[in-house]
Chain A
Amino acid sequence: MKSRTVPMIAVTFVSAAMLAGCAGGPPAQDGSALSDGKVVIGILNDQSGVYRDLSGPNSRVAVELAIADYEAKYGDEAVATDIEIITSDHQNKPDVANTQAQQMYDRRGADIILDVPTSSAALAVAEVAAAKKRLFIDVGAATMELTGAACNPYTFHWAYNTEMLAKGASGVVDNGGESWVIIYPDYAFGQGMNASFTASIEGAGGTVLESIATPFPNDNFSTFITRAAAQNPDVIGIMAAGGDLINFVKQYNQAGMQDQAALAVGLMFITDINSLGVEEFQGTTFTDAWYWDYDEQNREFADRFLQLTDARPTFAHAGNYSAAFQYLEAIQRAGTDDADAVIAELEGAKLEDLFLRNGEVRSDHSVVHDSYVARVKPAADVAEAWDYEEIISTIPAEEAFSPVNSACTM
């Protein structure tokens, strides 16, 4: 046997050491109202995984726009004179989110953490925020727990939640989509969505013929679709997100289901429509928290965003803009970035901006606002890139979100 020499391949791992800007400087020595002399906004989200496109690096762009608008509005009068943004990747894992949040608050001097998609990660950060007594405004996650059993004085939930997503379903029932089959991924998010949608459909007088749990993640939905179709429902509701949603819709269309039942999607971001193509989604209804082409104000923001990112903003990006802007406004009113003072300014506040229409911060720290029932346009009606949605109706803030959560005690 001839021996083969194996060259040793030395692989050097260059560990990207995050040189955290150490924020251990002296507090407010020049009479500044800011801790460490500056406001540090931390963005903690998915920078590399499935939620990268819908939040990710572009959330930072949205926050930069909020800072620019705040500075333009107040000029020399601004309380927050020096504003810094730091970002981190939580990889959608609660343990990573926990560690990163602690680092952001302790070592990198974050006064607030924003975004945090993925419910389990958001709940982990909420705990850290309460322990550190610093602000956390969640934009990207859907769980009701944030303003329910897991609520705390330092955590706010800004954009949407599973019950609000389900509110669009009652509109579908009113329009004749009375019998439903729900297909949901069998983990916390999917189970929550199934419960919320079932309640919303039954509340509007519709019926849920069957709820089918699927494994998560899952590539092949063909037999699930057959099973759902066998019940002859008016509507099939799919609660999957990301790649699973796209797998489902492709196979749904391939099975010729568009002609048999209407499709309702539980949670959809405009990036999903963009990636699958509007042809595959056309006619699908869903609840949207915000749409870039809804009016002139939104469009103006979306144009600025497009210039910087080459993409239109998702509702999560707009939500991050709004959260950052209203946070800075609260600092302005409070005259300091002290967490408790800022929270006092936010609690009970009625807020208006491009994202929050008829916005209000409730006592459970759920930030309610008008939401929308949207339908994906027919491909023929698409006039430009990202022109995908038609807003069918507006759900007023008080109807879009359920009453204050009694499970929340602060």
Chain B
Amino acid sequence: MDAFIQYTAQGLAAGGFYALAALGLAVIFGALNVVNFAHGAFYMLGAVLTAVLLDVAGINFWVALVLVPVILFGFGIIIERLLVQWLLGLDNLYSFLLTFGISLVLVDVIKIRYGVSGLPYGQPPGLEGLIRIGAVQLPVYQVFVFVFSVLVCLGVWLLLAKTRVGVIVRAATEEPERARALGINVGLWVTPVFGFGVALAGIAGVLAAPFRAITATMGSSFIIILFAIVVIGGLGSILGSVVAGFLVGLVEAYGQGYASTFSQIIIFVLMAVVILVRPAGLFGRKESA
């Protein structure tokens, strides 16, 4: 029983991180109908940038947690203006192919510049050690990642659901013609939403730096799990991706605990079952299936 409780705690901790990492994917799809396959590469850029900023400029984890998302927000804006905007009106297969291409380019650029074996990054100051509560024992850093991720997810939900900015963004992306008729400059809102999604990937990248290998390919396998999460949650649903993030974290932890070799397969079995039973995902709208 102790083991089960420990696995549950670890699953929830991992789930929080998954939810945050998948959030940007859900935001960009929900708002722009763009299947952003470069999300994993943006996540990788976030982690690489964190390590490089420390190495080159001595910028620590806490500053990077603010600075890296800002840089990636700008980078996302450039990518959207230069490339993504031209495909927005088309079938989302086009943007999928475009972003897939972008991710290949980004991964190779990082490989050429920084090699393949990865960059060093230690524990952030103030987050070393362990927390013990009864039978459960978790690294302080994992607890921090969990709390921080939940706060960011909550903040994003509040921003989109409860604020005037959120209402405008949703109007501009869901009903662009009517929004224009009401005097909203739709083009002005689409670009920052993409940048915002990329910045969220950047935050996940910063959080990953202390506990994941920082390599050019670190996002390439991770993106597969993230897609499983947004599909389970319902493409474009923010609540869905958060719930599915936790679900996948738990399923993975129980898999590792009780059926180790199958711990990743189980995630995709879960995805297949969800698609069979609810093709739009747990929280998806029918038309986005």
Contact = CB atoms under 8 A, between A and B. Distances in A.
A359 B3 CA distance: 49
Nearest to A277: B120
A403 interface: no
Contact of B139 (A254, A274, A275, A280): A254
A4 B88 contact: yes
Contacts of A393: none
Contacts of B212: 219, 247, 250
Interface residues of A, number: 49
Given A227-B257, A254-B141, A246 B213 contact: yes
Nearest to B89: A4
A42 B108 CA distance: 25
Given A222-B253, A224-B260, A275 B177 contact: no
Nearest to A253: B123
A217 interface: yes
Contacts of A213: 260-261
A1 interface: yes
Contacts, number: 131
B256 A276 contact: no
B264 A218 contact: yes
B80 interface: no
B141 A6 contact: no
A359 B104 CA distance: 44
Given A4-B89, A254-B139, A186 B118 contact: no
A52 B210 contact: no
Given A50-B116, A223-B257, A243 B265 contact: no
B215 A243 contact: yes
A254 B123 contact: yes
A341 B13 CA distance: 63
B129 interface: yes
B117 A215 contact: no
Nearest to B114: A275
A256 interface: yes
A220 interface: yes
Interface in B90-147: 90, 108, 111, 115-123, 129-130, 137, 139, 141-142
A288 interface: no
Given A215-B265, A230-B3, A243-B217, A250 B260 contact: no
A254 B210 contact: yes
A277 B122 contact: yes
Contact of B130 (A4, A186, A242, A255): A255
A49 interface: yes
Contacts of A226: 3, 6-7, 10, 137, 257
B264 A215 contact: yes
B86 A215 contact: no
B173 interface: no
A246 B261 CA distance: 19
A223 B256 contact: yes
Interface in A35-61: 48-54
Interface of A: 1, 3-4, 6-7, 9, 48-54, 186, 212-215, 217-224, 226-227, 230, 242-247, 250-251, 253-256, 271-272, 274-277, 279-280
Interface of B: 3, 6-7, 10-11, 13-14, 86-90, 108, 111, 115-123, 129-130, 137, 139, 141-142, 177, 210-213, 215, 217-218, 221-222, 225, 252-253, 256-257, 260-265
Given A52-B115, A215-B264, A243-B218, 11 more contacts: A51-B116, A52-B117, A222-B10, A222-B256, A223-B253, A227-B3, A227-B256, A242-B117, A253-B123, A255-B139, A256-B139
